[in-house]
Amino acid sequence: MSDLTTPLTNPLATPLADVIVIGGPTASGKSGLALAIAEAFGGTVINADSMQLYADLDVLTARPPAEDLARAPHRLYGVLPAAERGSAARWRDMALAEITAARVEGRLPVVVGGTGLYLRALMQGLSEVPPIPDEVRAAAHARLAAIGGEAFRAELVTCDPASAKLNPGDTTRLTRAWEVLQATGHPLSHWQSRTAQGAPEDLRFTILVLDPPRADLYAQCDRRFDLMMEQGAMEEVRRLDALARERPLAPDLPVLKALGVPELRRVLHGEIPLDEAIALAQQSTRRYAKRQVTWFRHQIVGKSPDMLVSHTGQHSCHTIDLPCSPAVRNAMLDRLRTILNY
């Protein structure tokens, strides 16, 4: 058994290299658990949160603070400017490069984030969807803005029945489905069935899914947004809003749709008072957390029940259904020592 404070030794010599993947809803304690694992096993934390990629959003995306960044290497945080569009394909390429770099350095890759599509793309591969022209993307957002989520989804379902499962409030997935259908003539499900990039054959994923009680999660979402306001969220949005007007930035850019940004921009534009914006942002955060919980339960935990039992293949999954307290973290570290044979 190796010293838990030292990096892995010769990771490229093994047929399957271990990668820890931590997923779950926002405000569930993922970053703290990732840091604890990185410190205990000599790891590198690799971001898998689509909004934490952006340099212009620090406070509102709950990016790890400077003191945490100093305790263990952190990668893919704040690496994209606001004007760029992140994607699962782009993130996957960056994440695989960082995983390789960590292995070369003899460190354990610890991938952490709540963007389920990114995590699935990493572990299972990514469907090859043709590029979407900018004019088609703009038309999708214009149509959604004109008729609203419910009508937009109903219109989409007539040509793409699989889209009926999408939440009317999930504008990102709704517009994506519409864009693909309009640009290619085939529904998104058609392309998703044609996996072009398979799962990495040299990596073995141990998946930790945080699934705390709903009441605890929602309360933490509310508390964390209040803390963000104290830490300068409004000033951060003020700078982003100024940038959006100066550049100008396309209104459908991901960075402008991050949790809290639309609501606080409405305050800056004189549309609503601050207390209403905070309440709306907290509500949006809770709804987003609920969608994340559902996604992880269906796509990661519930989709492959055999993943819950043993670590015999390239995947194993372990659900943490308690608030991620220090005691829970320590129990998870003990479990990982057994899984990773430390």
Among the residue ranges 115-129, 178-192, 202-216, 312-326, the one predicted with the least confidence is: 312-326
29 annotated to a ligand binding site? yes
Which of 25, 47, 63, 81 minimizes the C-alpha distance to 253? 81
27 annotated to a ligand binding site? yes
Looking at residues 211-228, what average pLDDT do you find?
96
28 annotated to a ligand binding site? yes
Topology (CATH) of 11-125+203-339: Rossmann fold (3.40.50)
Sequence ranges of the domains in the chain: 11-125+203-339, 134-192
- Report helix angle 134-147 to 171-184, nearest 10: 130
177 annotated to a ligand binding site? no
- Is the pLDDT confidence value at 12 over 90? no
Residue owning tokens 């460190």: 107
- Domain 134-192 maps to which CATH number in 1.10.20.140, 1.10.760.10, 1.10.486.10, 3.40.50.2300? 1.10.20.140
What pLDDT, on a 0 to 100 scale, did the predictor assign at position 287? 97
Where residue 310 falls among pLDDT bands split at 50, 70, 90? Answer: very low
Mean pLDDT taken over the chain = 87
At 74 the three-state DSSP class reads: strand
Angle at 26 between CA 236 and CA 217, to 5 degrees: 120
Q: Among 76-80, 153-157, 207-211, which range has the highest average pLDDT?
A: 76-80
pTM for the model? 0.80
What pLDDT, on a 0 to 100 scale, did the predictor assign at position 190? 80
86 with 50: CB under 8 angstroms?
A: yes
26 annotated to a ligand binding site? yes
pLDDT tens-digit readout, 229-276: 999 999 999 999 999 999 999 888 999 999 999 999 999 999 999 999
Residue 192 tokens read as 């998703």
